[in-house]
Chains A and B, each alone.
Chain A
């Protein structure tokens, strides 16, 4: 059965801290790994990773994929209270996606 596991499920940090969120997957016919940020309702797209070892960056966020070990990490440096959200990881296979349970990040002032 296709599945995506995320860890930790919950994380509380203080502003300025650096966090690493983990995502591992077991998906048949894997195509890409996506990260989303969900604050209230709609998950907003962060990254799509298709190749191993190539880091993608957007401001203080970065992510990398390891297709051999079947995992990805999302790093957030110098966290801010606005980074508080649920971070979802999804693995695509064909035209479909399987999501992990998400990591709830709380950044305290």
Chain B
């Protein structure tokens, strides 16, 4: 059973560029959440996708956008990159069952460096 997978593992971009990160959820999971983890900090919630729609959003600007596909995989897009966007981007998947309590599993992350 494949867990959560993310691609690419590392990425180097220049300020002002755009980037797309990809995530495939754990088998049987239908909800994908994205987090940004800066060095020395805990993960910060970006947004969550379920049924191909953004359901919740954290305190991130509109430069951060996403998408979920019918197979539950997801993309995170960041436009007009800033140096401060350099971080580990984590994808987490879970199974949404009404409002039931549930576990969330993380992918290995994508390390984004903006120069």
**A residues engaging B (CB < 8 A)?**
4, 6, 31-32, 34, 36, 41-45, 48, 50, 88, 90, 92, 94-102
B106 to A44, Cβ gap below 8 A?
yes
Chain A residues with Cβ below 8 Å from B96 are: 95
Q: B43 contacts which of A44, A88, A92, A95 (Cβ < 8 Å)?
A: A88
Q: How many Cβ-Cβ contacts under 8 Å join chain A to chain B? A: 64
Interface residues of B (CB under 8 A from A): 4, 31, 33, 35, 40-45, 48, 50, 55-56, 88, 90, 94, 96, 99, 101, 103-109, 111
B42 engages A88 (CB within 8 Å)? yes
Pairwise interchain contact B103-A96, C-beta atoms closer than 8 A:
no
Instruction: Say which residue of B40, B50, B104, B107 sits within 8 Å of A97 (CB atoms).
Output: B104
Residues of A within 8 A of B109 (CB): 41-42
Interface of A is mostly: strand
A-side contacts of B101, CB under 8 Å: 31-32, 48, 50, 92
- Residue contact B56 to A42, C-beta cutoff 8 Å: no
Known A41-B88, A43-B90: A96·B108 in contact at CB below 8 Å: no
Q: Contacts A34-B104, A92-B101 known; A97 to B41 CB distance under 8 Å?
A: no
CA distance in complex: A17, B108 (Å)? 30
In the complex, A45 Cα to B111 Cα: how many Å? 20
For A50, the closest partner residue in chain B by CB is B101
Partner among A6, A34, A88, A95 whose Cβ is within 8 Å of the Cβ of B55? A95
